[in-house]
Amino acid sequence: MTRLSVNINKIATIRNARGGSVPDVALAAVRCEEFGAEGITVHPRPDERHIRYADVRQIRPTIKTEFNIEGNPTVQSFVDLVLEVVPDQVTLVPDGQNAITSNAGWDTIKNEALLTDLCKTFKAKGIRTSIFIDPIPEMAFGAAKCGADRVELYTAAYAENYPKDPETAIAPYLKAALAAREAGLGLNAGHDLSLENLNYFIRTIPWTDEVSIGHALISDALYLGLSETIKAYLTEIRKK
């Protein structure tokens, strides 16, 4: 069954806009789990414009389900943080330092040497390693060659095209997901998944292990409340 991991970066963004410690990011992580989230995702960036490295250290001992840290592993401070904190999963994302949000997956073929070394480093600490990729079958096979445990499909294009033609929007994702399964990889998905498009994705690719959702979920929580929003997302995941 697909698990819901809540990305709490946006909660940290609200805190940082005002300064201080409100809202309490670590408490939000605990509440998300209490409300049914099956994992917590954070994506610390070097400029700490939302999740801070200190947040990651504070959150780690409070998580009872699964802790997933996303980030660019070409930044040594990120690698050091992951090895210090030892999350359940690390997701390797090639986001530029000035990127507003993640906007592309890895070329796992061109970056094979780098990604292979990183997978060895993290897996030696018992950390499940996932590589963020575009929906291209060759990138999934490349990730398997690098030694990854999973891939995470970058779903921005799916979300953008879903309202116009769901079947066309998901077609490349289905091909990539089939490739990942053939390569023996677990499958995650994330970026712009929402209450509108989530169920169709899961019904089409039911072997998805995990979805990581932040922006849409936290935005919905402004209207519905955090508890009801997490319930709504879990309903969409489980609805046949």
Known catalytic residues? Answer: 43, 70, 191
Is 33 within 8 Å of 64 (Cβ atoms)? yes
Record the tokens describing residue 187, joined without a space. 């499958």
Q: Could you give the CA distance from residue 198 to residue 5 in angstroms, rounded to a whole number?
A: 13
Q: Could you give the CA distance from residue 119 to residue 144 in angstroms, rounded to a whole number?
A: 10
The structure tokens 């940290």 sit at 12
Render 91-158 in DSSP notation, one character per residue: EE----TT-SS------TTTTHHHHHHHHHHHHTTT-EEEEEE-S-HHHHHHHHHHT-SEEEEE-HHH
Record the tokens describing residue 234, joined without a space. 């879990």
